[in-house]
């Protein structure tokens, strides 16, 4: 028997989940919570195996509630069920201690499988979230910025300078005044500790700038 607590600030969502689990003989809903504070209290009082957690709740949100639950009742597995699928929200929820992440709109089968999985100690994501997580994990690492001391505009100037453009040509390309380009160029030289444009261009080309 999996003991379950539902935390969501919308009564209709809680009622719908309750009705879903009423049909499943090996899952028992032992409590409900309408906000994060009640979720933490419910985790301590009822000690469920799984907490279904919405993130956007009043008083204490789902992120803070998840983090606190993992502190005071670490044996409770938190399964997020929410509307948001952006990468930062997913990452923040997992850092808080969630073991699963589903989107509202998941099928009955997906929810039941997720509850069973996190109760058994597994981590699980909804299909669309899983695709995003996998894409991030398999993406090639981004190259570090060789000139982190430069501003974005100074990067633009250095790239064009390394391409062989004169200051007037750079000004025309970036639609800035020649005076502004002269100031930016001087700033680039100072930050890179080079004597002039030739040395700056060579340094930039050594790091791949000015080649396209």
The reply to whether 119 and 185 lie within a common domain is no
Average pLDDT score over the chain: 91
In a domain, 146, yes or no: no
Give the model's pLDDT for residue 138. Answer: 65
Give the model's pLDDT for residue 142. Answer: 62
pLDDT of 10 over the 60 cut: yes
| 8 A C-beta contact, residue 49 and residue 76 | yes
The reply to whether 182 and 97 lie within a common domain is no
The reply to whether 53 and 157 lie within a common domain is no
| Span 132-178, pLDDT tens digits | 766 666 666 667 888 999 998 999 999 999 999 999 999 999 999 99
CA-closest candidate to residue 82, choices 30, 9, 135: 9
In a domain, 42, yes or no: yes
pLDDT of 53 over the 90 cut: yes
pLDDT band at 15 (very low <50, low <70, confident <90, very high): very high
pTM of the model: 0.65
Instruction: Tell me the average pLDDT across 24-52.
Output: 97
pLDDT of 212 over the 60 cut: no
Count of structural domains within the chain: 2
In a domain, 143, yes or no: no
Q: Tell which of 86, 113, 138 closes a domain.
A: 138
Instruction: Tell me the average pLDDT across 4-17.
Output: 97
| Span 103-140, pLDDT tens digits | 998 999 999 999 999 999 999 988 777 777 666 666 66
The reply to whether 35 and 97 lie within a common domain is yes
pLDDT band at 87 (very low <50, low <70, confident <90, very high): confident
Instruction: Tell me the average pLDDT across 78-105.
Output: 91
Q: How far is CA 126 from CA 83, 137, 196, in A?
A: 12, 16, 55
We report the CATH number of the domain holding residue 177 as 1.10.10.10
pLDDT of 185 over the 60 cut: yes
The reply to whether 16 and 112 lie within a common domain is yes
pLDDT of 70 over the 70 cut: yes
Domain that includes residue 180, residue range? 152-206
The reply to whether 131 and 165 lie within a common domain is no
Stronger pLDDT, 24 or 137, i.e. the higher one: 24
Give the model's pLDDT for residue 88. Answer: 83
């Amino acid at each position: 028997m999996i003991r379950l607590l539902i935390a969501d600030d919308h009564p209709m969502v809680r009622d719908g989940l309750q009705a879903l689990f009423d049909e499943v003989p090996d899952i028992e809903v032992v409590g409900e919570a309408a906000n994060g504070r009640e979720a933490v209290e419910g985790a301590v009082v009822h000690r469920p195996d799984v907490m279904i957690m919405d993130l956007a709740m009043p008083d204490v949100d789902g992120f803070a509630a998840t983090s606190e639950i993992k502190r005071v009742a670490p044996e409770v597995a938190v399964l997020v069920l929410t509307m948001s699928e952006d990468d930062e929200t997913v990452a923040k929820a997992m850092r808080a201690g969630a073991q699963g992440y589903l989107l509202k709109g998941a099928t009955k089968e997906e929810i039941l499988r997720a509850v069973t999985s996190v109760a058994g100690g597994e981590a699980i994501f909804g299909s669309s979230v899983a695709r995003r997580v996998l894409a991030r994990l398999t993406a090639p690492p981004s190259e570090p910025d060789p000139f982190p001391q430069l501003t974005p505009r100074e990067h633009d100037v250095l790239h064009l300078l390394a391409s062989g453009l004169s200051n007037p040509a750079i000004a025309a390309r970036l639609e800035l005044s020649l005076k502004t380009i002269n100031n930016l160029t001087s700033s680039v030289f100072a930050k890179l500790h080079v004597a002039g444009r030739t040395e700056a261009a060579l340094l930039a080309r050594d790091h791949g700038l000015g080649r396209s």
